Amino acid sequence: MKNTFVKAGLALLISASMMACNNQGAPANTASNDSLATNNKVLTTESIVYVNSDSLLNNYEYFKDVRTRFEEKAKKAQADLQSKGTAFQREVADYQKNAGTMTAEQRANTEERLARKQEELGRLNQNASSSLAQEEMEENAKLYEKVSTYLKKHSKEKGYKFVLTYSTSNPAVLYADDALEITKEVVTGLNAEYEKEQKEKK
């Protein structure tokens, strides 16, 4: 079971664009040479910013904690399956070694028992993979909700209309001026909220 949680987390945050806030409460913008007029409203370059999702995930404490727990759970499940698989292989080897001295009935019973164990191992592997995949999907949904909720609030305070995402592994945005990047301020805010949540749980 290959752990894909990190890649999934990246893919979740990397979209063509993320609507960060609605127009209510946003400061009015005046027309300038660096603005775009859409539907009789003015959208300045200052109201379009972006977040580097690679950097965000690498520095967001919530994501790092979830990733660590997920990886530990995946390793434990893999180790358990590997232990059971090794034990099964030993049983098969013992049977093959002693088959010549066994009666036909003993061989039939042993082969039937080994076949059942093999099927059981297959089910355990499938169930473990399904369980991890389900948990991964749920955790990624929580991650998206946390980031999206924070960005809506933060953008309303700052007057951002769009927050785009950028990633070197999936560069939907081919170029972005560094002056428009808000990754650090977003990470700082997300970590502050996560730290507060952790303190409240204690």
Q: Give the model confidence (pLDDT) of 170-198 as tens digits.
A: 777 777 788 899 999 999 999 999 999 99
Which residues 6+ apart lie within 8 Å of 163 measured at CB? 17, 18, 19, 20, 49, 50, 51, 151, 155, 182
pLDDT tens across 119-147, in order? Answer: 999 999 999 999 999 999 999 999 999 99
Percent above pLDDT 90 for the chain: 65
| Residue 38 confidence (pLDDT) | 45
* Chain position carrying tokens 């950097």: 55
Q: Is the model more confident about 35 or about 147?
A: 147
What pTM does this model have? 0.72
Better-scored residue on pLDDT, 8 or 180: 180
Determine which of 22-26, 49-53, 125-129 has the lowest per-residue pLDDT on average.
22-26
Check: CB of residue 56 under 8 Å from CB of residue 186. Answer: yes
Maximal CA-CA distance, the chain: 93
Listed range (100-104, 109-113, 164-168) with the worst mean pLDDT:
164-168
Confidence of residue 65 (pLDDT cuts 50, 70, 90): very high
Look at 75 and 31; give whichever has higher pLDDT: 75
How does DSSP assign 4-68, residue by residue?
-HHHHHHHHH--S-EE---STTPPP----TTEEEETTEEEEGGGEEEEEHHHHHHH-HHHHHHHH
CA distance 28 to 15: 27
Most confident of 2-11, 64-73, 174-183: 64-73
**Rounded-to-integer distance, Cα 187 and Cα 60, Å:** 6
